[in-house]
Amino acid sequence: MATSNNTGFVLQRLAFLLSKQSDQVLQEQLGIGFSQFKILMVLGWNPSVRQRHIAEKLGQTEAAVSRQIKLLKEAGLLTAKVNPENRREHITTPTAKGEKLCDKALVLLNNYHAPMFEELSERQRERLHEYLGTLLQYASRKESNSFSHLFE
């Protein structure tokens, strides 16, 4: 089967290219990587989330997330405080500087990728968003079942 006719391959290739381009533009314009941006986004939504949860949400290892968080702290974009309810945990939150940078990054990425979406009609963009949402819901459900279906 030709890979260009395989929807899964096309989606994976598109995701790879978008990640790579996003990383490059963020590095060049703001001095952060795409992984760091995604961590700032997750922590902006939920500052009390554990690193394990961030890693799971982003499809990264806990060690990779930990390294990125360390870099973000060193850059003054995150702070960490001991959780008063569990002294072994830290609550990591974006600083004002981190929040501003995250907002700039979001605008930058939206503007950078806008021309690609302008290739589609308004109706096509709406349908694409709907279809991707449906696929994301399905994949999220499957993730909880892990890969057990492959071995049945």
DSSP alpha helix (H) spans, 50-95: 51-58, 62-74
Which tops the pLDDT comparison, 35 or 87? 35
pTM reported for the whole predicted model: 0.81
pLDDT of residue 148: 44
Task: Let me know if residue 129 belongs to a domain.
Answer: yes
**Residue in 82, 89, 111 with CA at minimum distance from that of residue 21:** 111
The CATH number of whichever domain residue 55 belongs to comes to 1.10.10.10
The confidence band for 26, taking pLDDT boundaries of 50, 70 and 90, is very high
pLDDT of 15 higher than 80: yes
**What is d(CA 50, CA 6) in angstroms, rounded to the nearest whole number?**
36
Enumerate the β-bridge partners of residue 80: 92
Task: Let me know if residue 6 belongs to a domain.
Answer: no
Task: Let me know if residue 13 belongs to a domain.
Answer: no
Task: Let me know if residue 10 belongs to a domain.
Answer: no
Q: What is the pLDDT of residues 50-72, one digit of tens each?
A: 888 888 888 889 899 989 999 99
Q: Hey, what are 5's tokens?
A: 């006719």
Task: Let me know if residue 16 belongs to a domain.
Answer: no
Task: Let me know if residue 106 belongs to a domain.
Answer: yes
How many independent structural domains does the chain possess? 1
Q: 28 lies in which domain range?
A: 22-146
Q: Cα 99 to chain center, whole Å?
A: 15
Compute and round to an integer the Cα radius of gyration of the chain: 18
**Residue in 24, 33, 35, 27 with CA at minimum distance from that of residue 61:** 35
Task: Let me know if residue 11 belongs to a domain.
Answer: no
The confidence band for 152, taking pLDDT boundaries of 50, 70 and 90, is very low
pLDDT of residue 150: 40
Task: Let me know if residue 94 belongs to a domain.
Answer: yes
Q: What is the pLDDT of residues 70-119, one digit of tens each?
A: 999 999 999 988 878 888 877 888 999 999 999 999 999 999 999 999 99
For residue 34, what are the contacts with CB-CB under 8 A and spacing of at least 6?
19, 22, 23, 26
pLDDT of residue 144: 59
Classify burial at 105, counting beta carbons within 10 Å of its beta carbon; exposed 0-12, middle 13-18, buried 19 or more. buried
Q: Cα 107 to chain center, whole Å?
A: 15
Euclidean distance between the first and the last CA atom of the chain, given in angstroms as a whole number: 25
